[in-house]
Chain A
């Protein structure tokens, strides 16, 4: 009996009892569907994270200098020189000086605005685009100029069209706006559009400090992140002779940590969902056992007409595998449906574009696993059927 004929026969038998076949498939449908939804949720979250992190710059290293346990301090010129001498590893460097304090436009106070003292390279380092005016320049740094570049949130909400030349007060001192940055987020309070950049020299003065404690270093490319980080580590160790005196931290590292956490979660959840696949497999085994008993006489007849053991075996195994394969296909469809539904719900509820995308590999694995389950759980009952003695089987009713 040919393979194709056996499949034809299996489908015919399944169609012969539709409700029963559907109920048998239910476990597989739910299991496969759940695995697909979970993996596509994980996939969607990972994509979302990668997207939002790369907008923050995955090829930027943040260096924090604590100077703890060391008498030596780091001079910016020293670091700047090192970066410039190793252009195969680095692009730009800029201090990032945090300025605490109050920001006022006229009498209005901006509460969540973050102020950063930077060098003239910071805009390129962060791929920032100006919508008006200019960025902080080298002369601003050397002259301790009281100039600022503001984010779109401040420009949109506190000024009219003519922003350049207007002033703001930082800790009581007057600063002149020389540039406005393009929108990078949603121009809302406290987000990355609610910012002020100023020359780091002025920032240090405002903060009442003389030491730069953190830098942003742009590496040559994503591929050099590790090498650059290693190089920087050696350089800093040479200066401080103490690993605790500094910290280098990269977005891509954080991203890796986050994605691997998501992946672990997905694997755990998918494993739980896969229990349903096992339950589905047991359902298939059960129905195959029933089917073998019900069709004992058919087995006897087929054997008397020349069916060998493997013919009978094949018939039942293929029937079980077909059941679970069809269940798997329905489950995949179900998973896709729920995933697109989930995408819709998330974008409605969270206002974030997380698209739940089933990966091809998860679909293939789900299908493969469901067919395998059919074969594995169909095997035992099918073997019982194949071993039936034809006379006993013929006499059975």
Chain B
């Protein structure tokens, strides 16, 4: 291997115990993602997409399995080390934007850099750069509530980009937007990918997933397809047996 993968998932299990009964949210998932890829993780509701993203984003640890991010084993890290990794390496884009409503656009974008301990000048430079990148330079002083949904999602994209992370994780980024605004956001994500960023997109929407260069389809916590988006099984779940033949 010339290049080490950015993300290595090896036999990842996430099991929720509810009394005698257990839910296997992730049931032995393995994949590699390389730097510069644009991957969409798809699947029906409850198939384990969010669980997968939480583990990838170091918000949660797997029950068992190996997770390497940027060459580091993060599967068993403690809380504060995970926070550091999130700060340095992950840029989150959430369905509900998750902006802090009491802070201005500028202050929202600043938060990750505050925790990174970056100096004030560098912060301002970077804030201006990313807000210009997402086309919101004129909204710098506004509160999130004064912005439209699409604009808010752009702010959250700016916030994800500002720390110059290794990977952008977007969980249903268009889920709360109308289709036109959603398309604009997707276009922005594609551009960001083309600028050299690694993007992992989570969606249940096939059209949206079509934007990516690679599809990973989950069903009941298992990968049923992993490949290019133009394969017949990529976007439509077939019978499991059929899919396994493909793999």
A residues touching B (Cβ–Cβ < 8 Å)? 1-2, 5, 12-13, 16, 297-298, 300-311, 390-391, 394
Of B92, B115, B117, B159, the residue contacting A307 (CB under 8 A) is: B115
Residue among B94, B102, B116 facing the most chain A CB atoms (10 A cut-off)? B102
Of A301, A309, A394, the residue contacting B100 (CB under 8 A) is: A301
B3 to chain A, nearest CB (A): 26
- The reply to whether B112 and A306 contact each other, CB–CB distance below 8 Å, is yes
- The reply to whether A305 and B80 contact each other, CB–CB distance below 8 Å, is no
- The reply to whether B54 and A391 contact each other, CB–CB distance below 8 Å, is yes
- The reply to whether A308 and B102 contact each other, CB–CB distance below 8 Å, is no
CB-defined contacts of B99 to chain A, threshold 8 Å: 301
Residue among B57, B86, B94 facing the most chain A CB atoms (10 A cut-off)? B86
CB-defined contacts of A390 to chain B, threshold 8 Å: 59
B residues touching A (Cβ–Cβ < 8 Å)? 54, 57, 59-60, 79-80, 83-84, 86-88, 92, 94, 98-100, 102, 111-112, 114-117, 159, 163
Q: List 5 A-B pairs, minimum CB-CB distance, nearest first.
A: A306-B87, A306-B115, A308-B80, A305-B112, A308-B83
- Contacts A304-B86, A305-B159, A306-B84 given; indicate if A1 touches B100 (C-beta within 8 A): no
B101 to chain A, nearest CB (A): 9
- The reply to whether A5 and B114 contact each other, CB–CB distance below 8 Å, is yes
- The reply to whether A391 and B59 contact each other, CB–CB distance below 8 Å, is yes
Residue of A at shortest CB range from B94?
A394
- The reply to whether A12 and B102 contact each other, CB–CB distance below 8 Å, is yes
- The reply to whether B116 and A306 contact each other, CB–CB distance below 8 Å, is yes
- Contacts A306-B87, A308-B83, A391-B60 given; indicate if A16 touches B102 (C-beta within 8 A): yes
B42 to chain A, nearest CB (A): 21
B126 to chain A, nearest CB (A): 14
CB-defined contacts of B88 to chain A, threshold 8 Å: 306
- The reply to whether B100 and A298 contact each other, CB–CB distance below 8 Å, is yes
Interface SS of chain B: helix, strand, loop or mixed? helix
B218 to chain A, nearest CB (A): 18
CB-defined contacts of A310 to chain B, threshold 8 Å: 80
CB-defined contacts of B80 to chain A, threshold 8 Å: 308-310
- The reply to whether B54 and A307 contact each other, CB–CB distance below 8 Å, is no
- Contacts A390-B59, A391-B54 given; indicate if A306 touches B83 (C-beta within 8 A): yes
CA of A69 to CA of B87, assembled, Å: 92
Beyond known contacts A303-B86, A304-B59: 20 more, CB 8 A cutoff: A1-B115, A2-B114, A5-B114, A16-B102, A301-B98, A303-B59, A304-B57, A304-B86, A305-B111, A306-B83, A306-B84, A306-B87, A307-B115, A308-B115, A309-B80, A309-B83, A311-B115, A390-B59, A391-B54, A391-B59
CB-defined contacts of B83 to chain A, threshold 8 Å: 303, 306-309
CB-defined contacts of B60 to chain A, threshold 8 Å: 391
- The reply to whether A308 and B84 contact each other, CB–CB distance below 8 Å, is yes
B133 to chain A, nearest CB (A): 18
Residue of B at shortest CB range from A306?
B87
- The reply to whether A1 and B114 contact each other, CB–CB distance below 8 Å, is yes
